[in-house]
A and B are shown apart, each in its own frame.
Chain A
Amino acid sequence: MSNTFPADSVGLVVPKTHHFHEPLPLDSGRELPEYQLVYETYGELNQDRSNAILVCHALSGDHHAAGYHSPTDRKPGWWESCIGPGKPIDTNRFFVVSLNNIGGCSGSTGPASINPRTGERYGPDFPIVTVADWVRSQARLADVLGIDCWAAVVGGSLGAMQCLQWAIDYPDRVRHALLIATAPKLSAQNIAFNEVARQAILSDPDFHDGRYLEHGTVPRRGLALARMLGHITYLSDDAMRAKFGREPRGTAGKLSFSFDIDFEVESYLRYQGQSFVERFDANTYLLMTKALDYFDPAAKHNHDLSAALAHVQARFLVVSFTSDWRFAPSRSREIVRALLDGDKDVTYAEIDAPHGHDAFLLPIPAYLDVLQAYLEQVAEEVGA
């Protein structure tokens, strides 16, 4: 197998599943009577159990962060650029845990799972989950794995919000929190984009009030539209110009004078939308966007983020990207400022990158240098 995969990849990985029989209380006041989490691990847990890193996924991610599920896989996990032997999240030194969050559609309990109380799929009845709910479920997984304290919790975008929540809710279980391309809460503009995405799904005639699977269909158009919209916000104007410009699609550069595809960017977005439908669930998309909208750890503290962070013990690395307009550097600086207010340990890097929000997933040398330098310090500290 060793010659099938790149040397700096974790190679073949097999997802694991843990079933939790104890109910999970949720912020909504509801609970999940029982649930399962699907997760992957890379590297070895050391004897002190001090070298564990939790990787939290973003909106459309899942537990498959690195490596391959089969030798014929076309693509590795979603954060292959960052996780592997010798990479910033160095699997020679760290034990990496990556899970699919509750409400997801990659194996953890979600809307397509069977509700044990009814014997039917949850569908639209799946409770709205929050970032804090996820973190609560992740803490239980840590218990199962025998990890009292993470060397680091790491995530980008919605994943970073989970890391921030971890540092707040479990201050003595997080040594370092690495927050990449994120915000302490969504802006009205962020929520507006999410609402349009949700409306695209909700108004698709194939949505059937969330019971589409029972109708033997999926709201393809709605989910694809939601993804197309999302993709626009993940790229910067410059990145789109560089990638597509106004390149015409086919027909020797002639305009079609119809509503068919004329430009490359249209073709790209349609492809992104359609391929997303094949792998993602519409009810999950609705839930994930709500978790984003509801995230606001300062709300409980009179909207004072410094107060929300008053008891964190973790040291922080906050990273933003200059061209990210979905979660702009100024949003990361709100977090940095709140940490400075409390004299917390924080390092902030603003990476000069043209790619927009997507940058956090890309192998940008200046970005990986920062992660690598920081995580090497972490490794030294925990004896990894």
Chain B
Amino acid sequence: MSELRADLAIISEWIEPGSRVLDLGCGDGALLKYLQEERGVSGYGLEIDPANVVACIRNGVDVIQTDLDAGLNDFDPDSFDYVVMTHTLQAVSYPHRLISEMLRIGRQGIVTFPNFGYWRVRLQLALKGRMPMSGALPHKWYDTPNIRLCTLRDFEALCRQQGIRILERRVLDHAHHEQAFSRLLPNLLGEIAMYRFERAA
């Protein structure tokens, strides 16, 4: 477990052994590799970056090179137990469509994203009047891939609007550690948000 990033470790605890997982924006395939080896999970990763595709192949992960913005039409309804998207939601063109797609093809969705309501982020904008940068948001405003930033409240409002039930929520700091105090005011103290959710049937 020590080699796996803490947020990925939490996700792997959320996922039942032997289930089928689709990982959107799977990077080098570390999560799927871990899930395959440790939890008997099967599934695919979707990734757009050629170097990451090669890394997935080397990790023994089935990867489909694709642009998430082009949709998930290749996948049938209810074909996965979990559809996971770590640190990608904020970088796609239409997050709300992708979230509803996640729950079309999967029983449950799991997302992580940088919380734009984090207090340091708020302060930078409020006091300095500059676009915030932080450990979780390291890019300048003009070259950031993060084009759809949101707060925990924003995300939860979207879920309510789309008829999505949130099953679990965690917040982490930018090093992906869980701090006990941040549970008190997660939208203010949490730097990274993690959600597990399903359709509110």
Interface residues of A (CB under 8 A from B): 315, 317, 333, 336-337, 340-341, 343, 345-352, 366, 369-370, 373-374, 376-377
Contacts and interface: CB of A to CB of B under 8 A. Distances in A.
B178 interface: no
B15 interface: no
Contact of B44 (A340, A351, A369): A340
Contacts of A349: 50, 53, 65
Contact of B64 (A347, A370, A377): A347
Interface of B: 20, 42, 44, 50, 53-54, 56-58, 60, 62-66, 74-76, 79
A306 to B, nearest CB: 10
Contacts of B42: 343
Contacts of A343: 20, 42, 79
A369 B44 CA distance: 20
Contacts of B58: 373, 376-377
B74 A340 contact: yes
A47 B74 CA distance: 41
Contact of B57 (A340, A350, A374): A374
> Which 4 pairs of residues, A with B, have the shortest CB-CB distance?
A373-B57, A348-B64, A337-B74, A373-B54
Contacts of B53: 347, 349, 370
A377 B57 contact: yes
A369 B62 contact: no
Contacts of A377: 57-58, 60
A333 B50 contact: no
Contact of A366 (B50, B56, B64): B50
Contacts of A340: 44, 64, 74-75, 79
A347 B62 contact: yes
Contacts of B62: 315, 345-347
Contacts of B63: 347-348
Contact of B76 (A333, A341, A348, A366): A341
B129 to A, nearest CB: 40
A336 B92 CA distance: 23
A324 B153 CA distance: 45
A352 B62 CA distance: 20
Contacts of A373: 54, 57-58
Contacts of B76: 341
18 contacts: A315-B62, A337-B74, A343-B42, A346-B44, A346-B64, A347-B53, A347-B56, A347-B64, A348-B64, A348-B65, A348-B66, A349-B53, A349-B65, A370-B50, A370-B53, A370-B54, A377-B58, A377-B60
